[in-house]
Every structure is written in C-alpha cells, then in structure tokens.
Amino acid sequence: MMAYKKPQSLPFEQMPEAAETLMALMHAQGEVARLSEREKLFSSLLVSVNAVLWAFDWETQQMIYVSPAYERIFGRSAGLLLADYNEWRDSIYPDDLDYAERSLAEVLVKGSIEDREYRIISADGQIRWLSDKCFISHQSDDRVIVVGIAEDITEKKHLEGELQRLATTDVLTQSSNRRHFFECAHREFEQARLQGTSMAFLLLDIDDFKLINDTYGHQEGDIVLQRIAESGRAILRRGDLFGRIGGEEFAAVFPGCSPEMAQQIAERLQREIQRLSFSHNGHVYGVTVSQGLTSYKPEDDLLDALFSRADAAMYQAKRQGKNQIVPS
C-alpha cells in the first residue's frame, strides 16, 4: 500500500500572488465572454437593420466592409462586392449613375454628404430607391476611408409619388387638376415670354352637359368626362399640358406651338370627340364641344391675358351654335 502524501501548500508569502493571478484569469475569461456576447449582439443588430453599412477605401477603390443587409437589398453576393467595387457601381440605375458617382466624390471636399438619393436595380430586376449618406473617416495611416449607410427608401418614394399624384390629378378623369394645370401653365408662359417662343392656349367646354346629367344621370356624365379626357391625352403631343379646370371644362397648353399648328391639334381633338359614342339603356348618343383658342403675343405680360381671350372665344363658339373652334 502506498503511503498517503499530503499535498504541498504554497508558502504563505506566495498565496496573495497566486490569488491575484487566479482573479486576473477569471477576469480575463469574463472579458472574453462579455466581448463574445457583445459581438453576437452587434452581429444580430446588423442583420436586423434594413440599411447597408459600408466602408470604402478611396485610394484603392475597394469596398472593405459591407453589412449583411447588402445581400438582402441588392440581392447580390457580398463576397463579390468586396472583391470588386464595380458590383455596386454596376447595380446603379443607368440614369442615376453619373449623379451617384459625382455626389460620392463630393465627400472628399465637404467631409459628409447626407442628401444622396438614387436608384439601383436589384439582382431580380426590381428598381429600388436608396438614401445613401456617407462620411470621411481618416485613418491613422493617412488612408482616406469613406463610410456610409444606404437605406432602402423604396416604399417611402412610392408613397411620395402617390401623394404627389393625388395632389396634382383630377380623381375622376386622371387629368391634371385645376391648381396643377395652372402652375404648369404659368411656368410655360414665363418660358415663352423670356425666350420669345410661341405658345398656344385652349379652352374646351362640353356642349349641353347639364342635359346629359339630367337625362342619363350623373354617373353617365362622369363617363363622358372620362372619355373626353382620354381623347385629350390621345391627341395632344408629348410635352403639351391638359387638365380639367372646372365641371365640364378642360384646358390645354401647347408649348412652342405656332397658331397654325395649334389650330390643327384643336381640329383633330374636335373630330376625335365627335366620333365618341355613348350608350345608356339602349339609347346611343354622342357629344360635342366648343373650343376657344389663342396664342401668346409679345404684349402679353400675364397668363391671364391668354386665358381671358380663350374664354371669350369659347363662349363665342357657344353663341355661334356650339360644336366649333373659335380662334382669338
């Protein structure tokens, strides 16, 4: 049988030093654990944030960091991006590429750019809007690192577009409403006045519209208004303005259009409306319109002058038997 050997104990003078070492080891282990927990927390936060955090080395033109949201928003591989910055550049919507590159370069002068908005095309072909803020981060080795956060604002842009459409569009006919039409018309008038270019103004009123409402009902009257608006959009040229400015009254502006050309457009519109056919409870009927047409003159200092002439010409068309165009 082996003899029992009592374990040796540390000398009394070494015990505090050993305790300190043990406490230091325990503290270090605790710090490692805490750092690990922080890293896990940070990683989970990066995954949940619906924005791309990125860092770009300006000298080497390389992306040196991109957060997990990149693959979710762009639908592209983060590894490929870190290998080649052109992965990001090539995803930018072509019409926005020049702006995106110029605004990124401005950060070298301004230090930060907080109002960058541009579109990208994700890997699945969807067009997304980004709000991409960026800042300069100077490193200790004098490298210039640009850091940024690119947020997906597609839904916000769609909402803004819908609100803009509702604010500027006549709900029934989907034409410009009165306020928006005259805002645009005033801009076109000022351009014609300052540049000395031509411009025509047209007013159109549906003949006997009250009789249509009284005979067939307001729902049928709404259909007539919608079809008139469709005719206007079909006949007018690209860049022309068309809007509903009253109950059964529409207006149009023809920028850069001579009086002769404006007359031809008005005549085409007149013929198109005359060809429209409506049916209610087996009864088929048509509609006509009276139009007043005028053009910009050098002595005109306000759009109101054109509106007044067109309005007077339109009522003259009414007095002369309706279904006609009166130039002024």
Active site residues: 248
* DSSP string for residues in 89-154: HHHB-HHHHHHHHHHHHTHHHHSEE---EEEEE-TTS-EEEEEEEEEEEE-TTS-EEEEEEEEE-H
Residues making up the chain, counted from first to last: 328
Each residue of 294-323: b (16+ CB within 10 Å) or e?
A: bbbeeebeebebbbebbbebbeebeeeeeb
Backbone angles phi, psi at 181, to 5 degrees: -60, -50
Element holding 40 (H helix, E strand):
helix 15-48
Backbone angles phi, psi at 14, to 5 degrees: -90, -10
SS3 call for 161: helix
Find out whether 294 and 327 touch, Cβ atoms under 8 Å: yes
Find out whether 67 and 53 touch, Cβ atoms under 8 Å: yes
Amino acid at 21: T
Amino acid at 78: A
